[in-house]
Chain A
């Protein structure tokens, strides 16, 4: 028998960034909030202190902070008709597990999407004419103007280091002139740039581009956030992405919210509890709570007035499918919405090898970089180019961790003496540019349930069908050469280029953990799983957070937009839903 726990007002599924924000906002409203996290408790001092944090093998290569594929994975194929096979070892992306979620092991690159990204369909069709039928791009249903205060809140919570380029409509020298307006300056000044960024900046200026310091969740100075939580200056140790910060210098749920939350009598957290299903009530029109499995393998029902999915995009989408909420997308008929518009990120990169100068890239930080945004979004004229969307080009100095990063020029053998000498020769003399491209939705890129492979409970794994599209290839073909030109102008000996979209999408080489779509937001129940407030069209007391709600992905890292949408949704719950707990948008 499944036993019932005492009912709570709100149950949060997962306990990363979006859950921490939701818990903070809804406990302020006096609600009793419970978070269920399938991983364990983690804090800086115990789990990743500076004495243990810089351990490349343990955290990256042995996945100490990532989900175990044995517990949840996806099957993958490039297109329909092929047999999807399970991802046995993570490669292209790295979903997190444990308190703080992937917010513990992110780099901290904290961009806002552009105003035009939120209205990708109407904006692009007005300017360039109708989009191809197979591009299932749509508007978010919420605008940049509506989200601006919520971006600002998250950036202040995190103490983002950066330089505004558009302050209340006034273009400010040194920032990103293409960004949407900001109501306020960043809470901290930009990070201190190193040799590679200086070379990038000079090269970009020489090409009449507009370089600006990357917005960074690594602290440029000591900071106390609006909740009174203190963070320390970043020490540029080069262990950010895939690692916890031992130094309280990277914004994460642990360093911004959790210390406050843990002191609230109306919040509690249960760890090692995996939510198996969202339960509907008898009418089928509301969620009555969730079914979860504790560490002893015992099933519990947790009743709640409000259920909020705060897991990673892949987990949230699968939980919707396994719970039988809504209809799973079928690309052949176009019916169904859960799993529709799975999108990713179109990446390419340029390596630069210097001869005389040393880049010393072990001196780095997750979001230490200079960026140009001239070719992102619709910041340039796409007429006649045959694609929409764009990419930022950045010179990041995130690390020189040697197992991961020992680049050698093209044509070097992959092992043996010649390889070894090339590694030594280039190890301290290398930098790279990243082209971080948008990913537009396509009819044939989607998620559904696998017909063959199951998890340890006998439930189907989620199946990913994904490949780069014509839009992706054209985008990469157009923007990568611009990055190559910047790279050549940086004064190195030689460059090398990697373009992911040239070949079929490969699940093995790491690209980004920016999986998006699957529980998309929109204006009507005919085109979306959740409404503009991230509320389920099917069950009005169910809300879905995370990048799964992006109808398509922009040319930026998603966290800032994910967080802004969470604050936006929390505000709607606080100010509208609690007064009248029904649909916030009439279908």
Chain B
């Protein structure tokens, strides 16, 4: 068999792409040579900080932010058992994620064609997450205005909101140009991320999500608790930021 040839034209384009990636991800850097007796390259006190997701960029317009916040508040509602996604500021998490590399699907294979997939073929939407949210939120508000006397999603009652979200989830409501089900699934997935991620990413404010379920967060030593034998291990959470008490 003959080897597959590499396209020269694509190769030329690729070096630009790599350069752009290096600028976007400062941790990536250029290729380097190591070894030849030089030992492990390491400097004390230097570590890569979690740099992504925390960009102070904004993705949502005011209307989009209202709708997105209202969706998260129904997916993980607040009640007497504890706070929900709104209190945990999940919408800020969404805003930062969608403004960053994740929103751009920068690491995903996004080339077409995009035929109708099998159920077993995973995520096949032609939109990036940012495009999916933008189109989905607009379509959601359009749908609500048409069906609810001109009111947008955030202006509906909680019961009305739940009915609309159920319609998306169960594929009873469809949008033009974007899959309503795909949008709903993505909204649900990212709301859970924003409720349970480390607070460095803008969600899970005050570690509310972790406190709600009893997760102690970014700890790394539980040896003292191994012999719990079925009794509750109840220790306060700590974030990559530390704990509020540490800085008071």
- A, B in one complex: yes
Q: Which residues of A contact B (CB under 8 A)?
A: 40-41, 43, 45-47, 49-58, 61-63, 68-70, 73, 76-78, 82-83, 85-89, 91, 192, 194-195, 198, 233, 235-239, 246-247, 258-259, 261-273, 276-277, 293-299, 321-328, 354, 356-360, 362-363, 400, 402-403, 406, 414-417, 420-421, 423-424, 427-428, 449, 452-454, 456-460, 504-508
The answer for the CA separation of A421 and B79 in the assembled complex, in Å, is: 9
Bound state CA distance, A272 and B124, in angstroms? 29
CA distance A88 to B200 in the complex (A): 27
- Given the known interface contacts A57-B198, A416-B74, the answer about A86 and B109 at a Cβ–Cβ threshold of 8 Å is yes
Q: Are A324 and B2 in contact (CB under 8 A)?
A: yes
Instruction: Give A8 Cβ to nearest chain B Cβ, in Å.
Output: 12
Q: A77 to B110, alpha carbons, bound, how many Å? A: 18
Interface residues on B, range: 35 or more
Which listed residue, B30, B44, B74, B120, touches A505 by the CB 8 Å rule?
A: B120
Instruction: Compute the total of residue contacts between A and B using a CB distance below 8 Å.
Output: 296
Q: Does B245 contact A (CB under 8 A)?
A: no
Does B10 contact A456, Cβ atoms closer than 8 Å? Answer: yes
Segment at the A interface, from B58-66, B147-155, B212-220: B212-220
Which residues of B are at the interface with A, using a C-beta cutoff of 8 A?
A: 1-4, 6-7, 10-18, 22, 27-44, 46-50, 52-53, 74-77, 79, 81-82, 84, 102, 105-111, 113, 115, 117-124, 162, 165, 169, 188, 192-193, 196-198, 200-201, 209-210, 212-223, 225-233, 240
Structural contact, A265 and B37, CB atoms closer than 8 A: yes
Whether B110 and A62, one on each chain, are in contact in the complex, defined by CB atoms closer than 8 angstroms, is no
Return chain A residues, CB-CB under 8 Å to B42: 43, 45-46
Given A323-B3, A456-B10, answer yes or no on A54-B220 (Cβ-Cβ < 8 Å).
yes
A449 to B3, CA, bound (A): 12
Q: Are A88 and B162 in contact (CB under 8 A)?
A: no
- A328 B1 Cβ-Cβ under 8 A: yes
**27 examples of A-B residue contacts, CB within 8 angstroms:** A40-B27, A43-B41, A47-B48, A56-B197, A76-B120, A76-B121, A86-B109, A87-B109, A88-B110, A236-B222, A246-B220, A259-B40, A263-B38, A265-B37, A268-B36, A273-B31, A296-B30, A298-B15, A362-B215, A406-B192, A406-B196, A423-B213, A424-B81, A427-B215, A460-B4, A504-B119, A507-B121
A324 to B2: give the CA distance in the assembly, Å: 5
Beta-carbon contact of A458 and B47 below 8 Å:
no
Contacts A322-B4, A427-B214; A264 near B197 (Cβ below 8 A): no
Q: How far is the CB of B239 from chain A (nearest CB, A)?
A: 10
Instruction: Known pairs A277-B4, A360-B225, A415-B75; list 20 more (Cβ under 8 Å).
Output: A54-B217, A55-B200, A58-B52, A62-B102, A83-B115, A85-B118, A194-B228, A237-B221, A295-B30, A299-B11, A358-B232, A362-B215, A362-B216, A402-B196, A402-B209, A420-B81, A420-B84, A428-B213, A456-B17, A457-B14
